[in-house]
Structure 1
Amino acid sequence: MNPQTFIRLSIGSLELRVPGITLNGAKSGRSALSFPCVCEIRLRGFPMQTAIIPLVSSPETTPDANNIASSFYLQESDLKALLAPGCPEWGNGRPVILFNGWIHIGKNKWLNGIAGAELHLRVKLDPDPRYIFQFKDKTKLSPQIIQLQGTIKQPIFSCKFSQDRVSPRDPLSNFWSSSFDGSELDIGKRERKGWNVKIHDLSGSAVAAAFITTPFVPSTGCDWAARSNPGAWLIVRSNVCRPESWHPWGKLEAWRERGIRDSICCRFHLLTEGHELGDLLMSEILISAEKGGEFYIDTDKQVRAASTPMHSPRGSGDFAAVSLAAGGFVMSCRVQGEGKCSKPLVQLAMRHVTCVEDVGIFMALAAAVDLSIEACRPFRRRLRRSASHSW
Structure 2
Amino acid sequence: MDPQAFIRLSVGSLGLRTPGTALNGTKSGSHAFSSPCVCEIRLRGFPVQTTSVPFVSSPETTPPDANTIASSFYLEESDLKALLTPGCFYTNHACLEVAVFTGHKGTHCGVAIKRQQVGTFRLEVGPEWGKGKPAVLFNGWTGIGKNKQENGKPGAELHLRVKLDPDPRYVFQFEEKTKLSPQIVQLQGNIKQPIFSCKFSQDRVQQVDPLSNFSSSFVDSSDIEIERRERKGWKVKIHDLSGSAVAAAFITTPFVPSTGCDWVDRSNPGAWLIVRPDPCMRESWQPWGKLEAWRERGIRDSICCRFHLLSDGPEGGGDLLMSEILISAEKGGEFYIDTDKQVRAAASPVPSPRSSGDFSALSPVVGGFVMSCRVQGEGKYSKLLVQLAMRHVTCVEDAAIFMALAAAVDLSIEACRPFRRLRRGTRHSW
**Length-normalised TM-score, structure 2:** 0.77
Separation in 1, partners of 2:196, 2:5: 22
**Residue of structure 1 in register with 2:46 after alignment:** 46
Matched, 1:373 2:413: yes
Aligned to 1:7: 7
Judge conservation of contact 1:281–1:310 (CA < 8 Å) in 2: no
The answer to whether the 8 Å contact 2:340/2:367 transfers is: yes
Are 1:161 and 2:161 an aligned pair? Answer: no
Partners of 2:54 and 2:318 in 1: CA distance: 31
Aligned to 1:66: 67
1:284 aligned onto 2:321: no
**Mapped contact 1:344–1:370 kept (Cα < 8 A):** yes
Is residue 148–residue 154 contact of structure 2 (8 Å, CA) maintained in 1?
yes
Aligned length: 367
Does residue 350 of structure 1 match 2:387? no
Deviation at 1:137, TM superposition (A): 0.6
The equivalent residue for 1:139 is: 178
Q: Deviations over 1:102-156 (max 9, x none)?
A: 1011134469xx9522111111110000111011111111111111111111110
User: d(CA) in 2 for partners of 1:101 and 1:324?
Assistant: 28
Q: Given the alignment of the two structures, is residue 271 of structure 1 paired with residue 314 of structure 2, yes or no?
A: no
Structure 1 CA distance, aligned partners of 2:7 and 2:311?
A: 29
| 2:324 paired with 1:304 | no
Aligned with 2:300 (options 233, 236, 261)? 261
Shift in alpha-carbon separation, 1:157–1:31, aligned structure 2, 3 A:
same
Write the letter of the residue equivalent to 1:149: Q
SS at structure 2 position matched to 1:380: coil
Aligned partner letter, 1:72:
F
Contact 1:287–1:294, Cα closer than 8 Å, also in 2:
yes
Corresponding position of 2:155: 116
Kept after mapping to 1: 8 A contact 2:339/2:350: no
> Hey, what does 1:169 align to over in structure 2?
none
Q: Of the candidates 214, 237, 246, which is equivalent to residue 285 of structure 2?
A: 246
Q: 1:204 to 1:298 in 2, by over 3 A?
A: same
> Alignment partner of 1:122: what SS?
strand
**Could you tell me how far 1:45 is from its partner in structure 2?**
1.0
Q: Is the 8 A contact 1:224 1:376 kept in 2?
A: yes
Q: Equivalents in 2 of 1:324, 1:367: separation in Å?
A: 26
Structure having the higher Rg: 2
The change in CA–CA distance for 1:122 and 1:85 in structure 2 (over 3 A counts) is closer
1:80-229 alignment runs, 5 A limit: 80=81, 81=84, 91=131, 93-109=132-148, 116-164=155-203, 186-189=223-226, 190-229=229-268
1:53 maps to amino acid: V
Report the equivalent of 2:110.
Answer: none
* Pick aligned residue for 2:376 from 336, 348, 352: 336
Native 8 Å contact 2:70 2:344 kept in 1: no
CA deviation vs aligned residue, 1:36-64 (integer Å, no higher than 9, x gap): 21111111111111121111124241321
Q: Which moved more, 1:265-274 or 1:363-372?
A: 265-274
Question: Judging changes above 3 Å, is the alpha-carbon distance between structure 1 residues 345 and 21 closer, same or farther for their aligned structure 2 residues?
Answer: same
1:215-262 per-position Cα deviation (integer Å, ceiling 9, x unaligned): 101111110101111101111112234332221111111001111211
Q: What root-mean-square deviation, in Å, do the aligned CA atoms of Structure 1 and Structure 2 show?
A: 3.2
Deviation, 1:309, is 3.7
Aligned partner of 1:45: which letter? G
| Structure 1 match to 2:212 | none
* Structure 2 portions without partners, runs of 5+: 85-92, 94-123, 205-221
Residue aligning to 2:28 = 28
Name the CA distance, whole Å, in 1 between partners of 2:291 and 2:230.
Answer: 18
Alignment partners' CA distance in 2, 1:157 and 1:76: 26
Counterpart of 2:19 in structure 1 is 19
**% of aligned pairs identical?**
76
Matched residue, 2:117:
none
How far apart, CA to CA, are the structure 1 residues paired with 2:265 and 2:365? 28
Aligned residue for 1:327, secondary structure, equals coil
Contact 2:23 2:33 in 1 (8 A): no
Give secondary structure in 2 for the equivalent of 1:304. Answer: helix
Deviation at 1:28, TM superposition (A): 3.2
- Mark the CA change 1:322 to 1:120 in structure 2 (over 3 Å): closer, same or farther: farther
- Could you say which residue in structure 2 is the equivalent of 1:173? none
Distance 2:299 2:266 in 1: 17
Task: Determine the C-alpha separation between the residues in 2 that align with 1:109 and 1:94.
Answer: 38
Do the aligned residues in 2 keep the contact of 1:96 with 1:126 (CA within 8 Å)?
A: yes
Displacement of 1:76 after TM fit? 1.2
Specify whether residues 96 and 324 from structure 1 end up closer, same or farther in structure 2 by C-alpha distance, changes over 3 A only.
Answer: same
- Give the distance between the partners of 1:367 and 1:373, measured in 2 at CA: 10
The answer (yes or no) to whether the contact 1:257–1:265 under 8 Å persists in 2 is: yes
Which residue in 2 is equivalent to 1:181? none
Deviation at 1:98, TM superposition (A): 0.7
Offset at residue 21 of structure 1 (A): 3.1
Higher alpha-carbon deviation: 233-242 or 251-260: 233-242
How far apart in 1 are the matches of 2:126 and 2:274? 46
In structure 2, what is the Cα distance between the partners aligned to 1:108 and 1:161?
Answer: 63
Residue 386 and residue 158 in structure 1: after superposition, are their counterparts in 2 closer, same or farther (change >3 A)?
A: farther
Residue identity opposite 2:305 in structure 1: C
CA contact (8 A) 1:12 1:123 kept: yes
Question: Which AA in structure 2 matches 1:331?
Answer: M
Q: Give the superposition deviation at 1:29.
A: 7.3
CA distance in 2: counterparts of 1:385 and 1:192, whole angstroms: 22
Name structure 1 gaps, 5 residues minimum: 166-184
> C-alpha deviations, 1:41-95, integer Å up to 9, x for none?
111111111121111124241321111111111111233439x99765954x320
Q: Secondary structure at the match of 1:161?
A: strand
Contact 1:280 1:311 in 2 (8 A): no
Q: Kindly indicate whether the alpha-carbon contact (under 8 Å) linking 2:29 and 2:149 is maintained by their aligned counterparts in 1.
A: no
Q: Which of structure 1's runs of 4+ aligned residues deviate more than 6 A?
A: 383-388
The 1:202–1:277 alpha-carbon spacing in structure 2 relative to 1, beyond 3 Å, is: farther
